[in-house]
Amino acid sequence: MAEAGPTGSIIPAEPLEEMMPDFSDIHYEKHHRVRGAAWVTINRPDVMNAFTGHTLTEMKQAVEDACADAEIGVIVITGAGDRAFCAGGDVRWLQEVQREGAAGPAPVDPHGGIEDCMKPVIARVNGYAVGGGNHLAYFADFTIASERATFAQVGPRVGSPASGYLVSYLTHVVGAKKAKEIWMLCRRYSAQEALAMGLVNAVVPHERLDEEVDAWCEELLRKSPTCLKILKASFRTLYQPLREHEAVFGVLALESEPVDPRL
């Protein structure tokens, strides 16, 4: 393997010795492609990278590790393969959560720790970003999409509950009217439509997706980490009060109709 250059420089996209071997649902790589960038990849392509509570727990562990590493300045979230970024919650897992209700397993962070991380997070959207996958994309600080990407919410269509700041945060991204359209009508949007409404920052040909993500990583890594941390904390004040009441919304969500496995 060629030696990695200084922070922000491109390095070969080869398997790295720093990949943590203990994860089953994700790949976690530090200094992947760009020195100073950590990649967290949902590795469940057989179910379009749909997540379970275990997946989210692993994501949170990886993100927290990257946030604590002084050599990491930016985090990339993506999905394995070319078909899907993330198709949201695995239907079988969601059904189990609803059956068990409040007596079930302890709640998991629905965004795998990316909100609490004070380092920039980029969503690399390589395909479908649906339901909880769309949450991951719009809660990231930046979203770079392949021209093949598709964005959608499906909750009211299939009876999969979401509530509180998970929903209302989207108004800060695309405005209240568009957010209600996305959530209540469950339409699908192309990458270009997502760009036009401000849901993503950039759309590129699929074969240039990694190149574009690398460029954004490099640009962010040239900025003051302290300033970026302060900016992230400042932006969080917009929705932090609602987030503090999320436990109440979570109980209400568990009372929703059973999840319909048909999409």
Residue in the block written with tokens 């932006």: 235
What whole-number distance in Å separates Cα of residue 161 and Cα of residue 155? 6
The answer to whether the CB of 177 falls within 8 A of the CB of 197 is no
Residue 172 contacts by C-beta under 8 Å, 6 or more apart in sequence?
A: 238, 239
Residue 219 contacts by C-beta under 8 Å, 6 or more apart in sequence?
A: none
The reported pTM is 0.84
Residue 79's pLDDT is what? Answer: 98
Mean pLDDT, consecutive 10-residue stretches, the chain (263 aa), reads 45 44 91 97 97 92 95 98 94 73 56 86 98 94 98 84 77 94 96 98 98 98 97 84 59 50 49
What whole-number distance in Å separates Cα of residue 84 and Cα of residue 196? 21
Nearest to 142 by CA among 218, 69, 247: 218
What whole-number distance in Å separates Cα of residue 43 and Cα of residue 49? 6
Residue 169's pLDDT is what? Answer: 87
Query: CA 52 → CA 14, 62, 93, 109, distances in Å?
Result: 28, 16, 6, 11
User: Which secondary-structure segment (H or E) carries 64?
Assistant: helix 53-68
- Tokens for 263, please give them: 């999409």
Q: At the top level of CATH, which class does the domain 26-208+224-253 belong to? A: alpha beta
Three-state DSSP class for residue 151: strand
Query: CA 39 → CA 6, 154, 209, distances in Å?
Result: 17, 27, 14
Residue 30's pLDDT is what? Answer: 97
The answer to whether the CB of 119 falls within 8 A of the CB of 62 is no
**Single-letter amino acid code for the residue at 49:** N
**Single-letter amino acid code for the residue at 43:** N
What whole-number distance in Å separates Cα of residue 171 and Cα of residue 224? 29
Residue 214's pLDDT is what? Answer: 98
**What is the distance, to the nearest Å, from the Cα of residue 231 to the centroid of all Cα atoms in its chain?**
19
- Residue 61 CB neighbour total at 10 angstroms: 18
What whole-number distance in Å separates Cα of residue 28 and Cα of residue 20? 6
Residues in the chain: 263
- Residue 206 is given by DSSP the state G
Residue 213's pLDDT is what? Answer: 99
